[in-house]
């Protein structure tokens, strides 16, 4: 008999979970928009970060959405489990305090005073409540139509190592011009978050910024992410007591590789242990816009 992990991965490939929860008809318009866009940018996926918690009663719809998105090649969907709701009755077995710290940096960047679950951040610049599935799908479609700036390739090489090669496309302005263009962009998200709309979700205050809130002194940071494709958890207490929860693309490691000013091609090799999928993203320092991402499953 197949293991529960194997069964879960099969469900991801079939892409049936979200349709069963929300209805295929309801998702069809947004899915069609995203599919049309993905045909033009299949090799340059959108990065979606979901901040979630096993003890959050509002999170299961967003977690189910992740099961659907995990099967797509044009989206790199990453679930970052947080621990700030552990005290209400159930400790999240996947939580990492660093996930909440990353979420707090986004909040400060966008001028928000609270963080909450479920919260979605798309390409570092769009923030939306995670249970608003249709809105998430529409934003993904919009982001897929954006012109990519970076060509990036990954390769596993002997000795448990990962080779990262990246270069700006010819249309990208010189690094100083690019910095000016991006810094001129508004820090607030396009769809301004109303805390009143998120009242059904748990919220936590964002602490003051530490002395340095930037990842590096150069304009962009190159980051490597590892994730577990699927797991199931039987939740025994708290707000979701009795739920057999299914989770996709659970982040297990997120680290800075190097910084890059885009003035010349990038080539770097880093250790890569194990068979878990790996994602590399290029993000504006200070945790701004994600301008490139690619993945090896």
> For the segment 108-136, what is each residue's pLDDT rounded down to a tens digit?
999 999 999 999 999 999 999 999 999 99
Mean pLDDT over 241-257 rounds to 98
To which residue do tokens 């816009």 refer? Answer: 289
pLDDT at 210 over 90: no
Residue 225: DSSP 8-state: E
Which of 78, 130, 74, 84 is closest to 104 using CA atoms?
84
pLDDT tens digit string along 53-108?
A: 999 999 999 999 999 999 999 999 999 999 999 999 999 999 999 999 999 999 99
pLDDT of residue 93: 98
One DSSP character per residue, 97-146 reads: HHHHHHHHHHHHHTT-SEEESSEEEETTTEEEETT-HHHHHHHHHHHHTS
Give the ranges where 203-248 is alpha helix by DSSP (H): none
Q: What's the rounded Cα separation, in Å, for the pair 177 and 133?
A: 36
Mean pLDDT over 190-203 rounds to 41
Cis, peptide link before residue 118, omega less than 30° from 0: yes
Sheet (strand 161-168) strand order: 150-157, 161-168, 266-271
To which residue do tokens 């001129």 refer? Answer: 184
pLDDT of residue 296: 97
Q: What's the rounded Cα separation, in Å, for the pair 141 and 128?
A: 14
pLDDT of residue 174: 54
Q: What's the rounded Cα separation, in Å, for the pair 36 and 69?
A: 16
pLDDT at 175 over 80: no
Yes or no: say if 292 and 282 are a contact pair by the CB < 8 Å rule. yes
pLDDT at 200 over 80: no
Mean confidence (pLDDT) of the chain? 82
Residue 218: pLDDT band (50, 70, 90) is low
Residue 8: pLDDT band (50, 70, 90) is low
Query: What is the chain's alpha carbon radius of gyration, rounded to the nearest angstrom?
Result: 19
């Amino acid at each position: 008999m197949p293991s529960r992990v194997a069964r879960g991965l099969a469900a991801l490939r079939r892409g049936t979970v979200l349709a069963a929860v929300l209805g295929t008809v309801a998702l069809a318009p947004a899915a069609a928009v995203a599919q049309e866009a993905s045909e033009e940018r299949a090799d340059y996926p959108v990065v979606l970060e979901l901040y979630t918690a096993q003890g959050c009663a509002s999170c299961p719809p967003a977690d189910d959405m992740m099961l659907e998105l995990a099967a797509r090649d044009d989206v790199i969907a990453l679930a970052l489990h947080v621990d700030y709701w552990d005290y209400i009755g159930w400790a999240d077995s996947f939580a990492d305090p660093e996930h909440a710290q990353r979420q707090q940096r986004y909040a400060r960047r966008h001028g928000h005073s609270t963080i909450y679950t479920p919260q979605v951040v798309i390409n570092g610049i769009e923030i939306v409540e995670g249970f608003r599935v249709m809105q998430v799908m529409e934003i993904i479609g919009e982001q897929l139509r954006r012109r990519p700036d970076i060509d990036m390739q990954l390769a596993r090489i002997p000795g448990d190592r990962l080779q990262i090669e990246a270069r700006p496309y010819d249309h990208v302005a010189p690094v100083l011009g690019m910095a000016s263009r991006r810094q001129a962009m508004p820090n607030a998200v396009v769809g301004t978050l109303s805390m009143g709309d998120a009242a059904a979700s748990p919220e936590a205050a964002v602490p003051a910024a530490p002395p340095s809130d930037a990842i590096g002194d150069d304009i962009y940071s190159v980051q490597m992410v590892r994730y577990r494709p699927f797991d199931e958890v039987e939740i025994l207490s708290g707000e979701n007591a009795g739920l057999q929860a299914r989770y996709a693309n659970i982040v297990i490691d997120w680290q800075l590789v190097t910084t890059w000013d885009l003035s010349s091609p990038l080539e770097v090799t880093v250790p890569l242990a194990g068979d878990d999928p790996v994602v590399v993203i290029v993000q504006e320092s200070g945790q701004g816009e994600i301008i490139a991402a690619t993945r090896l499953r």
